[in-house]
Structure 1
């Protein structure tokens, strides 16, 4: 079986995320295509984070209990029947790239899990990490780049 893959028609891995998906644009999530989910997967989890934030890791989006056969996450929408956790702003929604300075990496991490998680929507990335422990069958990632100078002048 091929390795699980995460890609986007909006940007290539390690390339610039279009402003549309950032705080300089519409601040909506890009389409994400999911391929080669391993057999035995009961749910998927997705974390979008910025490891280059001034105060350490900044979480932009946390989603779990995504159906394993979903195929893709549609632009500007949340997967049906999934749970959206709290991001670093304290909101249960996607928060696009919005770097205060410099160029930042935004990593979309996708996890295939052998369980559906019993985790409330009030949970954070840290709580999701604990709940996923011992349940990860596979993981993959997609990285986008965005700079404060990429926005409108």
Structure 2
């Protein structure tokens, strides 16, 4: 399989309009347009019953001690973990692309609803897709102005004092089941676990993003 985007060049910088936050010289960062990027794919195996799409930040700091603290830095060599930004499942195999902004437009305080998302129409056929909870659900749980269940896509918002650019990996899985093997509320980590034994093929593409002006200058 192949996976690509018209919103970014593979390995290049994600546009700010596809991010949760962007650089602001006066306030360090501000909320951005938060549009999901365009993605397209082909060469899907003939035996595919459905597709599943994941986006994860593979450079999220394992420690939050110095994140976004004036006078502090998140060192580049700090251990990192995954942070899930999008889980979209039950994608019909006859669908070959999702448009930029189709699933997310602007930041929604307290999170977008889910897990069901509006019907996707392809050749006159309606399909019900589902989305998992992204990791802003736990990250923003302590903020009364933003806390909630964050379904679907919410873009990058790496620490503005992180010395490392963050890589965002989009992975598309071809599955042998027409309905993803989880029901109700599920997270990215739970969904990755549920994939086991159902993957026929997979494809990846990635981009990078930073809110640290010094890092941005070098990208």
Alpha-carbon separation, structure 1, partners of 2:152 and 2:96: 20
1:21 and 1:27 in contact (8 A); partners too: yes
| Structure 2 length-normalised TM | 0.64
Alpha-carbon separation, structure 2, partners of 1:51 and 1:44: 22
Structure 1 unmatched ranges of 5 or more: none
Structure 1 match to 2:2: 5
Larger Rg: 2
Three-state SS of the structure 1 residue aligned to 2:54 is strand
Three-state SS of the structure 2 residue aligned to 1:20 is helix
1:105 and 1:143 in contact (8 A); partners too: yes
Three-state SS of the structure 2 residue aligned to 1:77 is coil
Three-state SS of the structure 2 residue aligned to 1:128 is helix
- How many residues align? The count is 148
Structure 1 match to 2:155: 96
Structure 2 unmatched ranges of 5 or more: 23-31, 63-80, 104-118, 121-127, 138-149
Alpha-carbon separation, structure 1, partners of 2:157 and 2:190: 24
Structure 1 match to 2:68: none
Alpha-carbon separation, structure 1, partners of 2:51 and 2:83: 21
2:7 and 2:100 in contact (8 A); partners too: no
Structure 2 match to 1:17: 14
Q: CA RMSD in A?
A: 1.6
Structure 1 residue 132, shift from structure 2 partner: 1.4
| Structure 1 length-normalised TM | 0.90
Structure 1 residue 34, shift from structure 2 partner: 1.2
Stretch moving more, 27-36 or 141-150? 141-150
| Off by >4 Å, runs of 4+ in structure 1 | none
Alpha-carbon separation, structure 1, partners of 2:184 and 2:6: 29
Structure 1 match to 2:71: none
Three-state SS of the structure 2 residue aligned to 1:52 is strand
> What pairs with 1:78-117 in structure 2 (closer than 5 Å)?
78=103, 80=120, 81-90=128-137, 91-100=150-159, 101=162, 102-115=164-177, 116-117=179-180
